[in-house]
Amino acid sequence: MIAERRSFVVVTDQEGFAHWLTQTLESEGEVIVVDSSALEQVLQLVDVTGTRLVFVTLTRAGLRQETAFLEGLAVSKSLLPIIAVAEAPDQALLLAALRAGARDFITPELHADEVVSIVRRTMDRTSSLSASPGDDGWAAAVVTARPGSDAPMFALHLALAIQAQSPQHRTLLLDLGVPPADTLLFLGVQSAYTFVDAVRSLRRLDATLIETAFGKHKSGLHLLAMPDDPRLSTQDITSADVYVLLGTLRRYFTHIVINLGGVPASDFLYLPLGRVDQVVLIAEQSLPSCKQNMALLQHLREHKIDLSHASLVVDHYLSRMPPDAASVAKGMCLPLLATLPSSGMARLAVMNSGESMFDTAPRDPYAIAVKRLARELVAAPPAAEAAAPNWFAKARQWLLAGQD
Fold match between 7-127 and 138-403? yes
Residue 3 binned pLDDT confidence (cut-offs 50, 70, 90): very low
* Proportion of the chain in helix, strand, coil states, percent, rounded to 5: 50, 15, 35
**pLDDT attached to residue 136:** 66
> Torsions phi, psi of 185, nearest 5?
-65, -45
Q: How far apart are CA 339 and CA 327, in angstroms?
A: 13
Q: How far apart are CA 206 and CA 198, in angstroms?
A: 11
Average pLDDT across the chain, whole number: 86
- pLDDT > 70 fraction of the chain, expressed in percent and rounded: 86
pTM over 0.85: no
CA-nearest of 392, 315, 379 to 145 is 315
Least confident range of 12-21, 50-59, 225-234: 225-234
Strands (E), 315-395: 336-339
- Give the model confidence (pLDDT) of 238-287 as tens digits: 665 676 788 789 888 999 999 999 999 988 898 889 889 999 999 999 99
**pLDDT attached to residue 251:** 82
| 254 Cβ neighbours under 8 A, 6+ residues apart | 131, 132, 137, 138, 166, 169, 170, 171
pLDDT over threshold 70, residue 33: yes
CA-nearest of 195, 143, 174 to 300 is 143
Where in the chain are the domains? 7-127, 138-403
Per mean pLDDT, which of 17-21, 199-203, 394-398 is the most reliable? 17-21
Task: Give the containing element (helix H, strand E) for 15.
Answer: helix 15-24
Least confident range of 54-58, 89-93, 154-158, 227-231: 227-231
Q: What is the fold, at CATH topology level, of the domain defined by 138-403?
A: Rossmann fold (3.40.50)
Beta-bridge partners for 216: 222
CB 283 within 8 A of CB 328: yes
- Give the model confidence (pLDDT) of 168-193 as tens digits: 999 999 999 999 999 999 999 999 89
Distances (CA, A) of 63 to 41, 57, 204, 214, 243: 20, 9, 20, 33, 29
**pLDDT attached to residue 35:** 82
CB 105 within 8 A of CB 86: yes
Task: Name the CATH superfamily, with its identifier, for domain 7-127.
Answer: Response regulator (3.40.50.2300)
Q: How far apart are CA 66 and CA 62, in angstroms?
A: 6
Distances (CA, A) of 104 to 57, 85, 199: 12, 9, 20
Q: 3-state class of 108 per DSSP?
A: coil
